[in-house]
């Protein structure tokens, strides 16, 4: 593993709303080459007790022993939305969470990754998935 691969590039990213009333998302403000490390999703590691009691919307379960709370404002990766046809993907390296470009991402595109089946069934399906792929079917 090369060290530089998981070093987030100093890319221009922007937090904004796709349309008025929609939630915030994270957007590329420049072209992002395929395979680059876009950003790290970081936060405080929760204690075991907190894993059960935390009401944070930004919990990220890294493995069965480690969950982080990405709710800190500095963690702009928390604005990345779910997509069933994602342009980014998560790689967990030594307990850290990196968001990688799955393909070339054009400037202005929203960055999204797949939150996973379990999360989708529990939190997204009940509200109706609003990703590009699911939106097409309607
Ligand atoms: Zn979807």
Q: How close is the Cα of 85 to the center of ligand 1, in Å?
A: 7
Cα 62 to averaged position of ligand 1 atoms, centre (Å) = 22
**C-alpha 59 to ligand 1 mean position (Å):** 20
CA of 9 to the centre of ligand 1 (A): 28
* pTM assigned to the model: 0.90
Q: How far is the CA of 12 from the centre of ligand 1 (A)?
A: 26
Q: Which pLDDT value is given to residue 132?
A: 83
What pLDDT is stored for residue 85 in this prediction? 96
Return the pLDDT at 2: 53
Give the per-residue pLDDT at 117.
93
> What distance in Å separates the CA atoms of residue 61 and residue 89, rounded to the nearest whole number?
15
Q: CA-CA distance, 16 to 120, in Å (whole number)?
A: 23
For residue 87, report the distance from its CA to the centre of ligand 1, in Å. 13
Report how far residue 130's alpha carbon sits from residue 81's, in angstroms, rounded to the nearest whole number.
10
- Three-state SS at 60: strand
Q: What does pLDDT average to in each consecutive run of 10 residues of the chain (138 residues)?
A: 77 91 92 97 95 91 93 95 96 96 98 94 91 76
The C-alpha atoms of residue 136 and residue 8 are separated, in whole angstroms, by 32
pLDDT at 3: 57
Q: How far is the CA of 27 from the centre of ligand 1 (A)?
A: 18
């Amino acid at each position: 593993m090369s060290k530089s691969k998981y070093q987030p590039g100093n890319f221009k990213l922007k937090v904004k709303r796709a349309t008025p009333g929609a939630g915030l998302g994270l957007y590329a403000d420049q072209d992002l080459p395929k395979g680059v490390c876009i950003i790290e999703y970081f936060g405080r590691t929760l204690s075991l007790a907190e894993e059960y009691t935390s009401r944070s919307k930004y919990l990220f379960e890294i493995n069965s022993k480690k969950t982080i709370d990405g709710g800190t404002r500095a963690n702009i990766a928390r604005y990345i939305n779910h997509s069933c046809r994602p342009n980014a993907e998560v790689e967990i390296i030594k307990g850290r969470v990196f968001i990688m470009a799955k393909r070339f991402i054009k400037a202005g595109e929203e960055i999204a990754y797949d939150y996973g089946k379990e999360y989708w069934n529990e939190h997204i399906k009940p509200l109706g998935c609003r990703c590009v792929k699911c939106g097409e079917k309607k």
